[in-house]
Amino acid sequence: MRVLDAHLHLWDPEALTYTWLEGPMAYRFADLELEHARLERAETEKCVFVQAGTVDDDFLDEVLWVAGLAPALGVVGIVAGIRLDRGTDTVAHLEGLAAEPLVVGVRHNLQGEPDGLAVSAAFVTGAREVAARGLTFDACVRAAQLPDVARLAGAIPELRLVLDHLGKPAVGTAAAPLAPTPEWARDLTELARHPNTFCKLSGLPGEAGGDWDAAQLIPFLDVAADAFGIERLMWGSDWPVSVIGPAEDDDPHAPEDGSPTYQPTARTRWADTVIAWADARGHDLDAIFWTTAEQFYRTDARPQAPTVEPPRHGIRGWFRGSRG
């Protein structure tokens, strides 16, 4: 099958500045690391890079850094970091992005912002500038912020907006799973009433702290499918954020203290979970794993990186060994 990963991160603390990386995530995740996390079932694999939380001053440098890696990694689109509430500075930033052909959209990460920012006059003005340039907007919010995203979509109906990580609902853990709440399902459905809104099937393993199983997360996929329809859903790995958690079974490098660690097979396990769910429901796999993301981000109209054929070597033990 072919896979266009709609939500993948890359970072290098030696090249750019990040203030949030800690523990197992405070390392370089780029070309070599991704090659060891390729999906075994993917005959063709490409990806959309989503900004990784650099400091504001590094937003444009991050785009240039990723663009340099793009041909080798199959990156066919870049969702750049931006602040949309900065007036003329926002416009200047968007004009700078116009010179970068791989930029397909932007993300002002809202999950840590005060409630109401997404519907403030300054933010809506910036979002209108995004829509006017034909760029997309990635909305990364907590579940309680979903009504603000719906109001933003209503205020700018021409804005192509995609919800990251299903709005980050509380999912619990494999041992203590939580069911979808009526409030989250209601707010997701309200957002989906706006026809230019889409949703990424991504991030739920991360919301479980890496301690998850398929039975726990499938009810959330069902709610998203009911709300958006399969034609507005796209798969994303949220690598490497969603591959940190308890050591996987038979990991010979598991930390003795039981602390979170890199899970070598977690990206593949999440893809396999969504594939099995889609197969069981009779959903269109190619739409979820390729065409919807391609059409939403319009990557077919952008410069194309070479097709990446995934390696077939093992990956257990690589992560720590590569840190040397």
Q: Is the pLDDT of residue 305 over 70?
A: no
Among 118-132, 251-265, 299-313, the range scoring the smallest mean pLDDT is 299-313
Asked whether 227 and 264 are in contact (CB, 8 A), the reply is no
Q: Is the pLDDT of residue 116 over 60?
A: yes
**What is the per-residue pLDDT for 324?**
30
Helix axes 88-97, 59-73, angle to 10 degrees: 20
Q: What is the DSSP letter of 287?
A: I
**What is the per-residue pLDDT for 311?**
37
Summarised one tens digit per residue, pLDDT across range 223-235 is: 999 999 999 999 9
- Residue 127's alpha-carbon distances to 17, 142, 266, 302, in angstroms, are 26, 19, 34, 22
**What is the per-residue pLDDT for 231?**
97
| C-alpha to C-alpha distance for 185 and 275, rounded to whole angstroms | 22
Q: Residue ranges of the domains in the chain? A: 2-323
Summarised one tens digit per residue, pLDDT across range 56-105 is: 999 999 999 999 999 999 999 999 999 999 999 999 999 999 999 999 99
Provide the pLDDT confidence category of residue 321 given band limits of 50, 70 and 90: very low
Is pLDDT larger for residue 318 or for residue 278? 278
Q: How high is the mean pLDDT of the chain? A: 93
**What is the per-residue pLDDT for 314?**
33
Provide the pLDDT confidence category of residue 303 given band limits of 50, 70 and 90: low
**What is the per-residue pLDDT for 302?**
57
Domain 2-323 has CATH 3.20.20.140: yes
DSSP H stretches of helix in 17-145: 31-35, 59-73, 88-97, 121-132
- pTM: predicted TM-score of the whole model, two decimal places: 0.93
